[in-house]
Amino acid sequence: MRKKIVAGNWKMNLNYEEAKLLLNTLINSAKSGNTNAEIIVCPPAIYLAAFSDILKSQSAVKLGAQNCFHQDSGAYTGEISPSQLKSLGVNYCIIGHSERREQFNESYDLLAKKAKALLKHQIQPIFCCGEQLEVRSNNVYKEFIMKQIEDSLFTLKAEEIAQVIIAYEPIWAIGTGKTATAVQAQEVHGLIRARIAKQFGDKTAADINLIYGGSCKSDNAKELFSQTDIDGGLIGGASLDAAEFSHISNSF
C-alpha cells in the first residue's frame, strides 16, 4: 500500500549527544505535527541501538539504517546484517546511495543481494538510484536509471518489489542546493512507475513508493510532493535541522 514518506539520511554527521537531541526534538514535533506521512530517521549505525530504545514507546518516528551487508552472520569484520538490524526493531534500510556506489564501489549485483536480504527480514529497502550530471547532459539518463533498477531489483517477485521504496536522487542535486525541478523529478518518477507496471503489473506499480532526494527543502518540498508519482522525500542536509525537517514532513 502506498504511503507518504519523509526519511532523513543523517549520513556521517552529529556526535551522540547532538544526535539524541535532534531525535528527541523530532519526536516531539512529529507528535504535535499534523502530518500523515511516515517519518523515518536514518542515523549513523552506531546510534541505532540507543535510538531503538528511545523510539520504542512511540510510533510517530520510525527507524532506518543507512546501509547493511547481505549475509545473516559470519566473518565479515565491520559489517552489519539485516537480521541484526531487525533485532533492534529497524524498519527501513537505505541501500545503493550514490555515495556508497561511488566511494565504496557498490555494484548492481551487490545491491540486488542486499535488497533480497533485507526483505527476507521484513525490512523495507530504500533503494537509491540517479544519474551523474554528464549522464543527464548526454540525455541518456532514462536508460541509465532504468538499468540501475532493472539490474538490482527485477529478480524480485512482485510482492517483494512492492515493499521496496525507490528513491530517485539525481547526483547533481545531492548536497549541491540545485534541486531537480518538479517537472524533471516527476518525469523520472513517472517512467519508473510505468516500467514497474510493465514488468510487475498495474497493482504493484500503484502500490510501490517512489520518493525524491537531492536538495529537498521546506521551500521546494510542497511542489515536489504534489506531483502524481512522488510519494515523499529522502532528505540529507535539511534533515539535520529539526525545524526544516518538520516543515518538510508537513508539506503534503
- Beta-carbon contacts of residue 139 (< 8 Å; ≥ 6 apart): none
Q: How far apart are CA 152 and CA 39, in angstroms?
A: 26
Which residues does residue 4 pair with via DSSP β-bridges, in sequence order? none
Active site annotation includes 97: yes
- By beta-carbon proximity to ligand PGA, the closer residue of 29 and 215 is 215
Among 2, 18, 107, 175, binds ligand PGA (CB under 6 A): 175
Scanning the structure block, which residue is given the C-alpha cell 515493499?
163
Instruction: Identify whether 70 is a catalytic site residue.
Output: no
Residues 108-127 touching ligand PGA, rule: CB under 6 A, are none
Binding segment for ligand PGA among 16-24, 61-69, 71-79, 169-177 (CB under 6 A)? Answer: 169-177
Cell output for 146: 532504468
Contact with ligand PGA (CB under 6 A) among 236, 245, 248, 251: 236
Q: Residue 187 half-sphere exposure, CB side, CA atoms within 13 Å? A: 10
Q: Shortest gap between Cβ of 224 and ligand PGA (angstroms)?
A: 12
Contacts of 167 (CB under 8 A, 6+ apart): 7, 94, 126, 127, 128, 129, 210, 211, 212, 213, 234
- CB of 176: closest distance to ligand PGA in angstroms? 7
Query: In the complex with ligand PGA, which residue's Cβ is closer, 9 or 250?
Result: 9
Q: Which residues contact 77 (CB under 8 A, 6 or more apart)?
A: none
Considering the complex, state which of residue 8 and residue 82 has its C-beta at the smaller distance from ligand PGA: 8
Contact string 184-223 vs ligand PGA (x = CB under 6 A) = -----------------------------xxxx-------
Angle, alpha carbons 123-100-213 (nearest 5°): 70
Using rule CB under 6 A, residue 40 touches ligand PGA = no
At its nearest, how many Å lie between ligand PGA and the CB of residue 216?
A: 5
Which of 106, 131, 169, 244: binder of ligand PGA (CB under 6 A)? 169
Mention every residue, 6+ apart, whose C-beta is less than 8 A from residue 57: none
User: For 108, phi and psi rounded to 5 degrees?
Assistant: -60, -40
3-state secondary structure labels for all residues of 86-119: HHCCCCEEEECCHHHHHHCCCCHHHHHHHHHHHH
Task: Exactly one of 70, 97, 189, 247 is catalytic; name it.
Answer: 97
Q: Which stretch binds ligand PGA (CB under 6 A): 19-27, 66-74, 119-127, 167-175?
A: 167-175
Which residue in the list 99, 106, 169, 244 is annotated as catalytic? 169
- Report the interface residues with ligand PGA, using CB under 6 A: 9, 169, 174-175, 213-216, 234-238
Residues recognised as catalytic: 97, 169
